[in-house]
Amino acid sequence: MAVKRFEDLIVWQKSQDFSVEIYSQFSDLKDYAFKDQITRASVSISNNIAEGFDRKTNNDFSRFLYIAVSSNSEVRSMLYLSERLGYLESENLKELLEKSNEISRMIFGLIKSMKSTES
């Protein structure tokens, strides 16, 4: 059965949950520029999945999925920096990195599945 709405994509749901966790983790941070950048990048993951899904072509959807992966990579880079800056404990870093990596794997899996249906 084909997915008919982006809301049904597990990767979109996990990306939304991830963004909520990022917001929660950095809610009290006084470095507003850092907080703004990491939260905006985290929101961009699920938004690009949604926007690409509704483009209705595999090529467009793939392009937006790659943008979502890039936003996820940006968040991951900032997570490493947040630990170095003392904004995040290493235990929290590890947990968030695992979730970020899982989302990347899922997005790449979705891209691969779309390519295989084009053949």
Q: What's the CA gap between 72 and 78, in Å, rounded?
A: 10
Helical packing angle, 58-84 and 10-25, nearest 10°: 30
Q: Which residue type sits at 44?
A: S
| Domains identified in the chain and CATH numbers | 7-118 (1.20.1440.60)
Q: What are the tokens at 2?
A: 């084909």
The DSSP call for residue 4 is -
| 29 touches 35 (CB < 8 A) | yes
CB within 8 A of 6, min separation 6: which ones? Answer: 12, 49, 50, 53, 54
- Report helix, strand or coil for 42: helix
pLDDT band at 115 (very low <50, low <70, confident <90, very high): confident
Please report which helix (H) or strand (E) contains residue 85, including its range: none
Looking up tokens 């899982």, which residue turns up?
102
What is the average pLDDT across 47-63? 94
Predicted TM-score of the model (pTM):
0.93
Q: Which residue type sits at 6?
A: F
Tens digits of residue pLDDT in 1-47: 578 999 999 999 999 999 999 999 999 999 999 999 999 999 999 99
What is the average pLDDT across 39-63? 95
For residues 76 and 115, the model is more confident at: 76
What is the residue-averaged pLDDT of the chain?
95
